[in-house]
Structure 1
Amino acid sequence: MAIYHCTTKTVNRSSGRTAVASMAYRAGEKLEDKRTGLTHDFTRKDGVAHTEIVSNLNIEIDRSQLWNLAEQSENRKDARTAREWVIALPDELDADQRKDLAKAFATALVDRYGVIADLAIHEPSKGGNDKNHHAHIMLTTRKAELDPENNLTLTTKAEIELSNAKRKSLGMGTTQDEIKQIRETWANLANHALERAGIQEKIDHRSYADQNNGLQATIHEGTKVTQLRRKGIDTEISRFNDNVKQQNAQQLDQQKQQKESVLQRGLNRVDQGFDQWQKNQETKRLELERQAEMKRQQELDKQRAEQALRKASQKLSRGGMSL
């Protein structure tokens, strides 16, 4: 059955992540981070079904150039350099339909914020029976434009990246409200794609409490029952409602776990793999620094030895001449 999953998180320097490394991993490519000097090579990564950069600028955009520019556009040590959306792609659709759907959502984000989206579609992991087709969509946190020479530039922060205080001063809703709207956009796009494919099943972005999903309804308690409840006095109605709520909660938890556990396992493997890679990179970096320090010390010792030898030779020469 189709699983609803649409979440967002940010790429922050404060957490040790960079936009270049994150996109190299998701796209399964080799990218050089010009800010740090590190090269991130994930060309051996399996499961990347499709990658594509989506923008409204009508120019060809290089992935390395894009994410290096995103990094270079930020000066703060704790800067937010990218935003990622992760969506579950319905297994009921074929590969081309999933690609079209993921691109439609990426395009909707680009149109909404004026940014650039980098799309990477991942297949289910090999050796498993899960169906967690999903896509990672990395967005620039700044709006994308072309300068007079037709060069790509990143300008002001996109609206979703603004603080809630700033959004309020501009007459906008909160970031949380914004995310809810995007989650609804994804549900609408996915349901439209399922319908076009002749599939009756739908996904719903709303919480279970807002859905007409067949769960048992509670009885209206009214003023008297509410007043008694506040005083700690149980009634037949309040006890019935509490029992219904408990049963509904258990049923919802079971449904939620069944729908999301498969996808979450796949997403966790992505995060765990990337975190382990970062640890390995740090270990390699420290080892290279240690080797460089040893080499520097050896060179220094060699220079000191040569200087001492020259001084000894000069002293012998002066002693020989005096004789």
Structure 2
Amino acid sequence: MMHLRIATRLWRGSRWIANYGEPSREFFSRGAYTSFRRALVDSSWIAVMAIYHLSVEVISRAKGQRAIASAAYRSGSRLHDARIDRDQHFSNKSGIVHSEVMLPEHAPEAWRDREQLWNEVEAREIRKDAQLAREVEFAISQEMNQQQGITLARDFVVAEFVEAGMTADLILHWDISARTAWRNPTPMSYSPCAA
């Protein structure tokens, strides 16, 4: 088991005070990251932590979506869609700090190439209403730095998808809002519905 040091902000009177706690790595068991240690120095101290967010959507041809176009957009890359012989070009997208294809033990090594993986998914699914992939989006606490966010996202994807025999295309967006200057770390994982 591995522990991450996570900064939580504590309020006392009229000032913010940094405190470091070590959450357990059972971070998503039973649905939420809720294992921060409580600081009970004075009764006026409270811990501020992130709001839990996880959403799952299906990438489906019935909705007019394409798996390779979705993967190119989310990963900020240029991928060639062999089914319609067209490039999906989103390489000017900013805010992407980590991108990798994670494979279970039995998967072909060639699937590490994002373009080949998603072209194979598009080729195998022939129905006009085929469910091509599942998009899982979840939030990371703003108090984490990028390396901690990448580690947390990788651990979650391995535990929940890769160890269950699914291929996962992990992309971590680390956007900074121009209006509020708040970081918005958002990992997304794509898993083919059938492979």
1:289-308 → structure 2 map (5 Å cutoff): none
Structure 2 spans left out of the alignment, 5+ residues:
1-48
Partners of 2:104 and 2:163 within 8 A in 1: no
Matches of 1:113 and 1:128, distance apart in 2:
40
Matched, 1:4 2:52: yes
Deviation at 1:124, TM superposition (A): 2.1
1:157-196 → structure 2 map (5 Å cutoff): none
Higher RCO structure (Cα 8 Å, ≥6 apart): 2
1:15 alignment counterpart: 63
Matches of 1:43 and 1:79, distance apart in 2:
27
Partners of 1:54 and 1:110 within 8 A in 2: no
Matches of 1:118 and 1:93, distance apart in 2:
22
**Secondary structure at the residue paired with 2:183?**
coil
1:78-157 → structure 2 map (5 Å cutoff): 78-111=129-162, 113-129=164-180, 130-142=182-194, 154=195
Compute the TM-score of the two structures, normalised by the length of structure 2. Answer: 0.69
Structure 1 spans left out of the alignment, 5+ residues:
143-153, 155-323
- The structure with the largest helix share of the pair is 1
Deviation at 1:53, TM superposition (A): 0.9
2:30 alignment counterpart: none
Matches of 2:158 and 2:51, distance apart in 1:
21
- The structure with the largest strand share of the pair is 2
Compute the TM-score of the two structures, normalised by the length of structure 1. Answer: 0.42
Matches of 1:66 and 1:10, distance apart in 2:
17
Q: Deviations over 1:168-215 (max 9, x none)?
A: xxxxxxxxxxxxxxxxxxxxxxxxxxxxxxxxxxxxxxxxxxxxxxxx
**Secondary structure at the residue paired with 1:4?**
coil
1:302-317 → structure 2 map (5 Å cutoff): none
Partners of 2:96 and 2:171 within 8 A in 1: yes
Partners of 2:135 and 2:191 within 8 A in 1: yes
2:79 alignment counterpart: 31
1:212-231 → structure 2 map (5 Å cutoff): none
- Aligned with 2:114 (options 63, 68, 72): 63
Greater gyration radius? 1
Aligned residue identity for 2:72: A
